[in-house]
Structure 1
Amino acid sequence: MLSVSRLVLAGLAVLSGSGFVKSTILQNGQVRITDFKNTTVDRTSLSLKTYPRNATEISYQGRWDSNFVSWWSAPGLKFGYTGSQVGITFGPSTSPGVLIGYRISGLDWQFTNVTGGQTHLLVGPETPGVDLTAPVSPTTFEMRVTNWAYGVQIESVHVGDGQKLIKLPDASRRIEVIGDSLAAGMYTSYEGLSSWAYGVGAGLGNTDYSITAYPGICAADQDCWGNPRGQVHQWFYTSDTSWRAAEAHGTDNPEPWDFSKHPAADLVIINIGTNDQNSHNNVSAPVYIDALTKIVQGVHGKYPNAQVIVMSLWLGFSQTGNTYASVSSKGFVNEVRDMIKMFNSDEYLSNPVVYDGASKKLSQTNKKTRPFVHLFNTTGILQHNDIAPQWHPSDVGAIKVASHLLQFIKLTFGWELEATGPEVFHETLYWNDEPNY
């Protein structure tokens, strides 16, 4: 079965069909052994209680459309349950063989490939830890789609006969990450579940998170590496810019994201522009800054109380003589700093402007606001060996970015780090077990 699926051109995603590409996970050039359990079952052979996909007990994380199809990076669901069985029946819009991660309570991630029209028993009597006493009741179940290009459709959820699902309370904090392949987790081992964006959301603890990121996409509203629209447009819609979305509803008829039906983010992290600065896409600095400004204004319009972090770009390293040098100086450095100064100026804060992506209109709110845009300078966090051979962070690079950003959030906003032990990054426990060498 498929482990992790990718189809790339020129180092950035260009997805042109629905076929899978079989891939491997490499650790310093050595193949990692992956043996994912086949969780498919015949539902008629089990005694189960079934809940519809719109059951109020199910909390959907990230962006899902009105047909309960998932989009963008690391979308998922979570709920509490009783008993020792949890199954999910996936609908026909599920990508064939897509890899999902799932876990119970605070135990480690497990992985399996799922396909539409099948029921998968993800928790059963033989699941490790299923009979262990939970420090906090009830036992929880969480599922996330690993790959940014593929998705699942939920048909129904099952527990053991006589058991029940339990609605979990919303987390006390909520963040959203807006970005491209760097945030989506392209080329990390488990993609969305190995990305720095996921590392920030899960690493904060007691935080719901959404990653609205897709490889190859620009901030500017133009075609970039096969993405027909930019984030200044697409962020306002439920689906991403994939071939899967084009097949579902065409490129000009996406389903708007109903912000009013979802809790507002407390913090939005924006890391986009790597594709804009690439000469292949021919985006000028003024066009990029105009799009990035409108993204921030759009966020402020939809989440008026949210703080915004804009990350400076990192663009890899090149060998210079007998050392390596960062090329990040090409990443609109001065332009981004000037934009943030504009947002935090007295003139702007006295008459802030919001942007509506649907109508493409700017409007003044005439409501004074406090400074809400912050620069996170990524300079010096990554070194050349933290960038994988295909110009994206390695697993370790993603962990470094997440770790620094977590501390920035704590120091800037006073958010305590409330994760208390459950695994965040899967299969990153490397060590030397030879004491005498």
Structure 2
Amino acid sequence: MRIAPLLATVLGCLLPVSATILQNGQVREDPYPGQAANITLDASWRTYDASADEIAYKGRWDSKHISWWSFVSLSCPSYPPSCTTTLIHPERRVSKSGSQGINVGSLDWQFSNVTADTTYQFVTPDTLEGIDAGDTNVFELRVQIAGVAVPQNASLSKPPRFDKRVEIIGGSLASGQFATYEALSGWAYLFAEGLGNAEYTITAYPGVCLADMKCYGGGVHGMPWFWHRASDPGVRAQAMYGKDPEKFDVKGDQPADLVIIQMGGNDHRKPNEISGDDYFHDYVRLVDDIHHTWPKATIVLMSQWGEWTLEGTQYVPSTLYYDETKRVHDQFKEHAYVRYFETRGILQHNDIDPKNHPTDVGHVKIASHLLQWTRIMMRWDLEPTGEVGHGMLYWNDQQEY
């Protein structure tokens, strides 16, 4: 069966090249399976540049088609069979090489080392062997592109979008920092992709505070400010835009139906140690801003776990800014659009690392509970399309040994 190849010309990349992945203390063999071929385009290819109308950008992108650090995407089907290209780009064009994730439909993620200003063939005649021509298959690509190419007898068209949309706002926990495959292993992605029937944006960045102009000695904006910016707080974005990144039109895209906020870890830790009152006031400011922007959205305040302490033979959990977050919830209690999601009781002490970042299993636990909360409280049907947590093997996976 003939499959239309799909190529992308890389501008800049995201993940550190060939980083070691540990599992149960052992080095994972072949942690980044799959490599894309580097080729040169000729007249047999039809090309689309990054600004083509056939490409639908999702998430936060600026006018140069450079994305926010966390999970974002662009989509464009190719033929045959119909294929959707999704671009997820957590870094900046200043990166010259890296490793990227590649996924087709619900198949396992594959990874490829890439270099800037190079063209790679990601879909070949062997990619979808056994898949009927005409099937629509989601192709996800984790890299910044200059364009997409398909054979001359193929074409791209803008894909339809889901009716519902979710926005997740947070720091390193929501962005999946230190999980096996970063954002792809994080609870925010596992939850949003696991819904199976919603558009989503993950506006999260490691180290960002909720408090504005109070962290890291002052002079550093927090999420209430960055929520209106197309670029994240990272050093790569600052190197490109300085302290004046492009504004992002939060009203310009599809309105969110559900907004989930989990913040407080960076406000609480040294050197910041933001007071409860400052945290409370900036949280209220952010909730007010979101409600003004999307008046029909349900806003969920997710509690932020802290460290576990050993008392006798019992590990006791803690919650950061518990009273202040409940105060924010109480502030809007008479309104039905603000809810509280309690994470206490979901994780155990061995579900997090020493800096409170979840293990892969911890991320799965949070996402699973949140999916069921959404099904019950929002009355949303769940339509998962398959595996979303790649590379997680649960022992024992053998029926005899």
Q: 1:86 offset after TM fit, Å?
A: 9.0
Contact kept, 8 Å, 1:216 with 1:225, in 2: the verdict is no
Who is 1:243 aligned against? 235
Distance 1:26 1:223, change over 3 A: farther
Contact kept, 8 Å, 1:195 with 1:398, in 2: the verdict is yes
Q: 1:24 offset after TM fit, Å?
A: 1.6
Of 138, 148, 161, the match for 1:157: 148
Who is 1:316 aligned against? 307
Contact kept, 8 Å, 1:88 with 1:122, in 2: the verdict is no
- Give the Cα separation in 2 of the matches to 1:121 and 1:434: 36
Q: In the alignment, residue 67 of structure 1 is paired with which amino acid?
A: K
Does residue 51 of the first structure (1) align with residue 45 of the second (2)? no
- Give the Cα separation in 2 of the matches to 1:380 and 1:83: 48
Who is 2:140 aligned against? 142
Q: 1:221 offset after TM fit, Å?
A: 1.0
- Give the Cα separation in 1 of the matches to 2:130 and 2:159: 20
Q: 1:282 offset after TM fit, Å?
A: 2.8
- Give the Cα separation in 2 of the matches to 1:257 and 1:267: 19
Who is 1:277 aligned against? 268
Who is 1:12 aligned against? none
Contact kept, 8 Å, 1:293 with 1:339, in 2: the verdict is yes
Distance 1:160 1:243, change over 3 A: same
Of 397, 412, 436, the match for 2:377: 412
Contact kept, 8 Å, 1:58 with 1:79, in 2: the verdict is yes
Q: How does 1:262-411 map to 2 (within 5 A)?
A: 262-328=253-319, 331-345=320-334, 370-411=335-376
Who is 1:364 aligned against? none
1:43 alignment partner, SS class? coil
Q: How does 1:179-258 map to 2 (within 5 A)?
A: 179-222=170-213, 224=215, 228-251=220-243, 253-258=244-249
- Give the Cα separation in 1 of the matches to 2:86 and 2:161: 22
- Give the Cα separation in 2 of the matches to 1:323 and 1:107: 41
Who is 1:349 aligned against? none
Q: In the alignment, residue 326 of structure 2 is paired with which amino acid?
A: R
- Give the Cα separation in 2 of the matches to 1:133 and 1:235: 42
- Give the Cα separation in 2 of the matches to 1:21 and 1:423: 25
Distance 1:248 1:281, change over 3 A: same
Cα offsets for 1:224-283 (capped at 9, x unmatched): 4699321011111011000111111102x1100012331111110000011112242031
RMSD: 2.7
Structure 2 residue runs without a partner (length 5+): 1-12
Contact kept, 8 Å, 1:4 with 1:24, in 2: the verdict is no
Q: In the alignment, residue 67 of structure 2 is paired with which amino acid?
A: S
Distance 1:88 1:394, change over 3 A: closer
Q: In the alignment, residue 280 of structure 1 is paired with which amino acid?
A: P
Does residue 29 of the first structure (1) align with residue 25 of the second (2)? yes
Cα offsets for 1:170-202 (capped at 9, x unmatched): 112110100000000011001011000001110
2:189 alignment partner, SS class? helix
Distance 1:74 1:189, change over 3 A: same
Contact kept, 8 Å, 2:86 with 2:138, in 1: the verdict is no
Who is 2:100 aligned against? 100
- Give the Cα separation in 2 of the matches to 1:321 and 1:40: 57
Distance 1:391 1:242, change over 3 A: same
Q: In the alignment, residue 28 of structure 1 is paired with which amino acid?
A: N
- Give the Cα separation in 2 of the matches to 1:118 and 1:40: 10
Contact kept, 8 Å, 2:99 with 2:114, in 1: the verdict is yes
Q: In the alignment, residue 53 of structure 2 is paired with which amino acid?
A: T
- Give the Cα separation in 2 of the matches to 1:433 and 1:266: 38
2:148 alignment partner, SS class? strand
Contact kept, 8 Å, 2:76 with 2:84, in 1: the verdict is no
Cα offsets for 1:343-399 (capped at 9, x unmatched): 123xxxxxxxxxxxxxxxxxxxxxxxx520000011100001111244200000000
Of 77, 80, 101, the match for 2:77: 80
Contact kept, 8 Å, 2:209 with 2:267, in 1: the verdict is yes
Contact kept, 8 Å, 2:73 with 2:86, in 1: the verdict is no
Who is 2:39 aligned against? 42
Q: 1:55 offset after TM fit, Å?
A: 1.7
Identity of aligned residues (%): 40
- Give the Cα separation in 1 of the matches to 2:216 and 2:27: 29
Q: In the alignment, residue 336 of structure 1 is paired with which amino acid?
A: T
Q: TM-score, normalised by structure 1?
A: 0.81
- Give the Cα separation in 2 of the matches to 1:414 and 1:247: 44
Of 351, 374, 388, the match for 1:424: 388
Who is 2:117 aligned against? 117
1:70 alignment partner, SS class? coil
Q: 1:100 offset after TM fit, Å?
A: 2.4
Q: 1:140 offset after TM fit, Å?
A: 3.3
Structure 1 residue runs without a partner (length 5+): 6-19, 146-151, 346-369
- Give the Cα separation in 2 of the matches to 1:31 and 1:224: 37
